[in-house]
Amino acid sequence: KKAALESILYSYKHGFSGFAARLTETQARAIA
C-alpha cells in the first residue's frame, strides 16, 4: 500500500501542481 500511496501523492502533486499545492500542503504533512 505504501507504493500506491506514494504513487497517489506523486500524481497529486504533479497533477495539481501549484493550484492545490497550498490546499494540500497541510494534508500532505498530515499523511506524511
Q: How far apart are CA 12 and CA 24, in angstroms?
A: 9
| Residues 25-29, mean pLDDT to the nearest whole number | 75
13 CB contacts (<8 Å, ≥6 apart)?
Answer: 21, 24, 28
Q: How many helices (H) and strands (E) does the chain have?
A: 2, 0
Q: Which residue has the higher pLDDT, 29 or 17?
A: 29
CA 10 to chain centre: 6
| Residue ranges of domains in the chain | 2-31
Is the pTM value of this prediction over 0.85?
no
Query: What would the pLDDT profile of 1-26 be if each residue is shown by its tens digit?
Result: 788 888 777 776 666 555 556 666 77
